[in-house]
Structure 1
Amino acid sequence: MAVGVGQVTALESGEAPFDAALAARICWYYFKEGQTQDAIAQRLGLTRKRVNRMLSDARDTGLVQITIAGPVAPCVALECRLVERFGLREAVVVPSPAEGTDVRSVVGAAAGWWISERLPPSGSLGINWGGTIHAAAQNLARRVGQGNTVVLLCGGLAESTAINPYDNAASFARALDATCYYVTAPMYTETQALRDALVESDPVRRVLAMVETLDLALMSAIDLTARSKALEYGVISRDLWRSLREAGAVGEICGHYLDPAGRPVDHPIADRTIRPHLDALRRVPQRVLAAGGRHKAPVIRAAIAAGLVHVLITDEAAAQNLLR
């Protein structure tokens, strides 16, 4: 099915673990005809809870994809100013979400749409970790048999959460029908000696070396403010968070903690982090940073200064803060 502005396109999805025909009918009534979930439930003899769940599953599985057409003038103006100020190839600015909505979901959605349009057939994509990357994966246009490759650019976490690198890489690979390569080692090791041994092992070394073959890298930024998700999820301890801030770090990109000028900070965690070399990341032909929220402006600015950003995908609040 296809409609115009606010386009909703229903696609076949062999992966959908539910009644795809029923889900498509629900999506048509909801998105195309504008019926309420209560009305749809009554019409089809379902509970409202089931209608709500099937709408959610339809988005998650790619059965329904939503494209919002039409420029948003203030965002376009900010995009132009960001490109001019920072020498970017491109900027994508989305409206900041309403209070109570996670900015990562809207910025991640924009990143997913951008990747869907720009990643070429047979292209290789590198990703790191975080909630924005998770949201991007949920908003990819589904592909079948295009020969894409997904490469994880960091080590993993033991716990399965929305920010887990392994889960995010797997979600990208499923959506793109891609071959996925994981760094089969933790993000942080207990000692430098252990980090060195793992990095020199063949499985880890081969995947980290694949950064040199990437067509595109999609990276998110981890801030070190009091709102840091790395702190909230226990990826880093409060003591480590405090010491990184004392060392001058404003955030992390692909395992590299940067100061406001985009320089790696001198901190012991650097010797225990499994990550690609900074220079290797700088050689990726198309480098995309997706990060939003006013609090992310310092680490976004640092990433740009470090030479890690060709394309910035962000929200109005972060863009306005960057341009001050």
Structure 2
Amino acid sequence: MDNNEELRLMLKVAQMYYDNDMTQSEISKELGIYRTTISRMLKKIREKGIVKITINYDLSETFSIEQQLMERFGLKEAIIVPVTSDEKKAKLKVMGRACAQLVGRIVQDDDVVGFSWGSSLAEVINELEDPRESSAVFVPMVGGPSGKLESQFHVNTLVYAAAQKFKGTSVLIDVPAILERRETRDQIVESQYFQDISELWDKITIAIFGIGSIGMKGTATWNSFYGNELFDELERGGIVGDICSQFFDIRGNLVETSISDRTIAVNLERLKHTKYAIGVAESPEKADAIIGALRGRYLNVLVTTEETARAILERTE
């Protein structure tokens, strides 16, 4: 085949494939050419510049923001959702749906999936739609709130519901996140019951958690876990947020508090070694807490709203 004939045939194939939306099999049948030849020809068409494929990133309002966050903080993925409503519940719903799509895509049979608690994660579970069956194990990464939190947001509720959605296995936790005395915490840590959970924490491959903020002082969820009496101590320590009841400053450094030696939760350093460490949080008031978590590298995937993402980028320019 001479060059002119080859070029004419490539133009014909390009027209059929790209303009007429014909499949490679349909083109093969019509032109009498092997399908493997069509595949090689399409590759050559792109290499020669006969067809130039351009992606219109402007169609996605949030794509460039996601790229900036990924580059600035070394993230594996950033999922930014535009929100038109100012209603908190609406924001959590769309953010939950975006995270649910990610979770449904990445969970595999051999995964150990860890959850923290809260309204953001409850929406993630609610938005899971017909995920494939999996033999994954779902486990809490922090103790419970001693009956002070709505049951729908309790870590055990979320873990059990996620396991049901995936038809996987759930392991529940029967101890509070924060004990009254250090001695009680030490006794629990030494028990066989806790050792079994701790072994699962070491095997976590996907961690999904909310990010608390000192700016949320006075809210029902804050008071459920900590109460206002802890606020002054956290403020003096320069603390901006927490993950699984472990606190950090704006640089991402962990900060010891009066409850640190009474807390039952996965070690945040462990999150740095998980395949997916997914932080789910929104609101400009939480921006500093999310920045601290990002700088501490406790997450490699961030799911948030556009307004929150813009606040994060503005404060870290």
Settle same-fold status: TM greater than 0.5. Answer: yes
> Could you tell me which amino acid in structure 1 is paired with residue 137 of structure 2?
T
Structure label with greater radius of gyration = 2
Could you tell me which amino acid in structure 1 is paired with residue 88 of structure 2?
A: T
Shift of 1:77: 1.6
Q: Distance in 2 between matches of 1:188 and 1:248?
A: 21
Cα offset for 1:145? 4.3
Aligned to 1:109: 97
State the Cα distance separating 1:142 from its structure 2 match. 2.9
Per-residue CA deviations over 1:11-68 (Å, capped at 9, x if unaligned) read: xxxxxxxxxxxxxxxxxxxxxxxxxxxxxxxxxxxxxxxxxxxxxxxxxxxxxxxxxx
One-letter identity of the residue aligned with 1:118: I
Hey, what does 2:136 align to over in structure 1? 148
- Give the aligned partner of residue 128 of structure 1: 116
- CA offset at residue 313 of structure 1? 0.8
Query: Does the CA-based 8 Å contact 2:104-2:132 persist in structure 1?
Result: no
**Aligned residue among 76, 79, 82 for 1:92:** 79
Corresponding residue for 1:302? 292
Deviation at 1:96, TM superposition (A): 2.7
Cα distance between partner residues in 1 of 2:280 and 2:218: 16
Superposition RMSD in Å = 2.0
Deviation at 1:322, TM superposition (A): 0.8
Match of 1:207 in 2: 197
Structure 1 residue runs without a partner (length 5+): 1-69
Gaps of 5+ in 2: 1-56
Matched to 1:193, the amino acid is: E
Preserved CA contact (<8 Å) 1:212 1:283 = no
What is the identity, as a one-letter code, of the residue corresponding to 2:164? Answer: R
Tell me the distance in 1 between the aligned counterparts of 2:156 and 2:84.
27
1:11-160 counterparts in 2 under 5 A? 73-102=60-89, 103-143=91-131, 145-159=133-147, 160=150
Percent identity, aligned pairs only?
24
2:188 to 188, 198, 201: 198
Matches of 2:270 and 2:224, distance apart in 1: 28
User: Whole-Å Cα distance in 2 between the matches of residues 269 and 207 of structure 1?
Assistant: 21
Q: Which amino acid in 2 is paired with 1:253?
A: I
Cα displacement (A) at 1:227: 5.6
Q: In structure 1, what is the equivalent of residue 235 of structure 2?
A: 245
Which residue is 1:219 aligned to?
209
Would the alpha carbon gap of residues 267 and 144 (structure 1) be closer, same or farther in structure 2, given more than 3 Å must change?
Answer: same
CA distance in 2, matches of 1:316, 1:144: 29
Counterparts of 2:192 and 2:73 in 1: how far apart (Å)? 39
2:262 corresponds to: 272
In the aligned structure 1, how far is the partner of 2:78 from the partner of 2:174? 33
Which residue in 1 is equivalent to 2:160? 170
CA 1:71–1:229 in 2, change beyond 3 Å: closer, same or farther?
farther
The equivalent residue for 1:39 is: none
1:65-112 per-residue CA deviation (whole Å, 9 max, x = no partner) reads xxxxx9962211211111111111111000135122333332222111
Worse-matched range after superposition: 137-146 or 77-86: 137-146
Q: Which residue identity lines up with residue 297 of structure 2 in the other structure?
A: G
**Aligned residue pair count:** 255
Q: TM-score, normalised by structure 2?
A: 0.75
Tell me how far apart the structure 1 counterparts of residues 93 and 152 of structure 2 sit (CA, whole Å): 11
Counterpart CA distance in 2 for 1:232 and 1:279 is: 23
- Contact 1:195-1:274 at 8 Å conserved across structures: yes
Indicate yes or no: 2:301 matched with 1:311.
yes
- More helix by percentage: 2
Alpha-carbon offset, residue 255 of structure 1: 2.3
- 1:226/1:300 Cα in 2 relative to 1: closer, same or farther (>3 Å)? closer
